[in-house]
Amino acid sequence: EDKVVQSPLSLVVHEGDTVTLNCSYEVTNFRSLLWYKQEKKAPTFLFMLTSSGIEKKSGRLSSILDKKELFSILNITATQTGDSAIYLCAMSEGGSQGNLIFGKGTKLSVKP
Amino acid sequence: DGGITQSPKYLFRKEGQNVTLSCEQNLNHDAMYWYRQDPGQGLRLIYYSQIVNDFQKGDIAEGYSVSREKKESFPLTVTSAQKNPTAFYLCASSRGKYSNQPQHFGDGTRLSIL
């Protein structure tokens, strides 16, 4: 059974829309949750979240973690065609030697 | 510029052949990782290494082998025992298990069967 579940798996929106991507996880010893953006090649790091309720923000992107309900969301406001990508959520467990467990990703397509 | 370099970008394997994917980093990171990405599957961990001359199997190590003779280098060999090698292979590195710092990725190698 998957430990990290992302939803939706794919999403099509128009430029200017706001989107919310979801990531739920199950873990016995949580360390951190990470978001990456993958266009054609290397996933690029967006955010790392370790504490509940503290929003991390970078331009039009923001993310927050809820450790009680075991989920995180990634928000993108005023979407642009350049936001089209696969967004990956990953979890790190304590004692795992830094290994990440990835969800299947959300494929976002932003239409002009 | 510091980063992770994977080569080649594209690789074709004949049946029964072993192929080696290169991964080099100049970030002075202790830890290095290999992932396999299939459509709709996310990233799955093949092997990882926290220090030179030491490495551990990940979730899908069968049919693969690695070495870590130098801190900067972590090559992955896809052996003939891997019956379904067609995938996108990503190498990553990080400061190490005690730092809780994010992993950074190379641009990947796309492997196909001839």
Query: Which one, of B40, B80, B34, lies nearest residue B59 by Cα?
Result: B34
Q: What is the pLDDT of residue A96?
A: 61
Rounded CA-CA distance A106/A103 in Å is: 9
- Return the structure tokens found at A50: 């370790």
A71 touches chain B (CB under 8 A): no
Rounded CA-CA distance B76/B68 in Å is: 10
Q: What is the pLDDT of residue B1?
A: 63
Cβ(B29)–Cβ(B50) under 8 Å? no
Q: What is the pLDDT of residue B41?
A: 82
Partner-chain residue, chosen from B42, B45, B104, that has the shortest CB–CB distance to A104: B42
Q: Do A105 and B42 touch (CB under 8 A)?
A: yes
The pLDDT-based confidence of A97 (bands split at 50, 70, 90) is low
Rounded CA-CA distance A25/A101 in Å is: 10
Substitution target in B4, B57, B100 with the highest count of A β-carbons within 10 Å is B100
Q: Do A45 and B44 touch (CB under 8 A)?
A: no
Which pLDDT tens digit goes with each residue over A1-56? 789 999 999 999 999 999 999 999 997 788 899 999 999 889 999 999 999 999 99
Minimal Cα–Cα distance from A38 to chain B, Å?
10
Q: In chain B, which residues have pLDDT < 70? A: 1
Check whether A73 has a pLDDT greater than 80. Answer: yes
Cβ(B76)–Cβ(B34) under 8 Å? yes
Buried b (16+ CB within 10 A) or exposed e, A19-41: bebebbbebeebbbbbbbbbeee
Count chain A–chain B contacts defined by CB atoms under 8 A. Answer: 59
